[in-house]
């Protein structure tokens, strides 16, 4: 009986550790919002972003319409929620660069990296091995300018999932490029 209880507790602790490691894949992100013309616009966007529970802190750079988002490593993230909050403030995402932790992950064009429920589909990426924290740009519609999205759409004609934003048997899909 005692041995079964210890196994259960050990399994529970291991599960918590494993889940926290999955969520810790993104340490921070740089968000560039389009359409911000003054500090009031920046403040409206900031107020929307600060309601996101998986963000620990937000730093603003008004001169470059940039927000540095620091992720809580113990909470699940939803990058689409970030986009939604920027749009709720009346603006659009011009770029979202996430800083992900990798340990010897070999990536190339059309490589899929899954962490938790999120799958990252690498596009426009040369073969390389990613180590440590690496900046990766989300290139899906709504995360880049319309002009940039159209450029990737032409390049990605062989990836039907880029155009429709979905892939079979994948809960959450993001298309990314190593920068």
| Residues 89-135 pLDDT 10s | 999 999 999 999 999 999 999 999 998 889 999 999 999 999 999 99
What is the gyration radius of the CA atoms in the chain, in angstroms?
A: 18
Q: What gap in Å lies between CA 36 and CA 140, rounded to an integer?
A: 21
Paired with 58 in beta bridges are 69
What is the value of pTM for the model shown?
Answer: 0.83
Q: Collect all residues with Cβ–Cβ distance below 8 Å to 75 and sequence separation of at least 6.
A: 23, 53, 54
Q: Output 150-156 pairs: Cβ under 8 A, ≥24 positions apart.
A: 152/123, 152/124, 155/123, 155/124, 156/123
Residues of the chain with pLDDT under 70: 1-24
Q: What gap in Å lies between CA 86 and CA 93, rounded to an integer?
A: 7
CATH 3.30.70.100 matches 2-178: yes
DSSP label of 141: B
Q: What is the pLDDT of residue 3?
A: 54
Q: What is the pLDDT of residue 156?
A: 80
Length of the chain: 179
Assign 17 to helix, strand or coil. helix
Strands 92-107 and 118-122: unpaired
Q: What gap in Å lies between CA 25 and CA 71, rounded to an integer?
A: 10
Q: Collect all residues with Cβ–Cβ distance below 8 Å to 40 and sequence separation of at least 6.
A: none
């Amino acid at each position: 009986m005692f041995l079964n209880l210890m196994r259960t507790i050990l399994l529970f602790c291991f599960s918590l550790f494993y889940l926290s490691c999955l969520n810790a894949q993104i340490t921070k992100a740089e968000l560039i919002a389009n359409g911000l013309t003054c500090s009031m616009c920046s403040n409206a966007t900031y107020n929307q972003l600060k309601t996101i529970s998986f963000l620990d802190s937000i730093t603003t750079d008004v001169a470059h319409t940039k927000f540095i988002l620091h992720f809580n490593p113990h909470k699940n993230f939803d990058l689409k929620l970030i986009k939604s909050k920027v749009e709720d403030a009346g603006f659009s995402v011009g770029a979202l660069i996430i800083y992900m932790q990798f340990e010897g992950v070999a990536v190339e064009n059309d490589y899929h990296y899954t962490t938790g429920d999120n799958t990252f589909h690498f596009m426009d990426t040369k073969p390389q091995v990613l180590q440590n924290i690496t900046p990766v740009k989300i290139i899906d519609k709504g995360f880049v300018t319309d002009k940039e999205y159209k450029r990737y759409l032409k390049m990605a004609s062989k990836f039907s999932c880029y155009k429709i934003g979905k892939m079979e048997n994948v809960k959450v899909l993001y298309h990314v490029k190593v920068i």
